[in-house]
Amino acid sequence: MMRFVSLFPKLAVAAAFAMPGTLYAQADSLVLKQWKAEQKVLWATYKDSTEETRQLAEEKIMEAFVSNHTTSEVSLDVIKECFFPIAKEAGYIKGLFAKLAPQVQSSAKGKQVTEQIATLEKTAVGAIAPDFEQTSTEGKKVKLSDFRGKYVLVDFWASWCKPCRKENPFLVKAYDTFKNRNFTILGISLDITKEAWLQAVAEDKLAWMQVAEIESKSNSAADLYSIQAIPQNVLINPEGKIIARNLRGEQVMEALNRFIP
Domains, in order of start, for the chain:
5-121 (no CATH), 133-259 (3.40.30.10)
How confident is residue 11, by pLDDT bands cut at 50, 70 and 90? very low
How far apart CA 217 and CA 219 sit, in angstroms, is 7
pLDDT of residue 28 exceeding 60: no
Is the model more confident about 196 or about 30?
Answer: 196
What is the spatial distance between Cα 155 and Cα 258, in angstroms, rounded to a whole number? 19
Contact between 65 and 36 (Cβ < 8 Å): no
Q: What is the pLDDT of residues 44-93, one digit of tens each?
A: 655 555 566 666 667 777 788 888 889 888 888 888 877 877 667 788 88
94-96-101 Cα angle (round to 5): 105
Does position 13 have pLDDT exceeding 60, yes or no?
no
Whether 201 has a pLDDT exceeding 50, the answer reads yes
Exposure string for 138-166, b = 16+ CB within 10 A, e = fewer = eeeebebeebeeebbbbbbbbbbbebbbe
pLDDT digits (tens, 9 = 90+) for 159-199: 999 999 999 999 999 999 999 999 999 999 999 999 999 99
- Residues ≥6 apart with Cβ < 8 Å to 86: 7, 8, 55, 59, 229
DSSP SS3 for 212: strand
**Stretch 244-252: mean pLDDT:** 94
pLDDT at 226 exceeding the cut of 50: yes
φ and ψ at residue 37, rounded to 5 degrees:
-65, -45
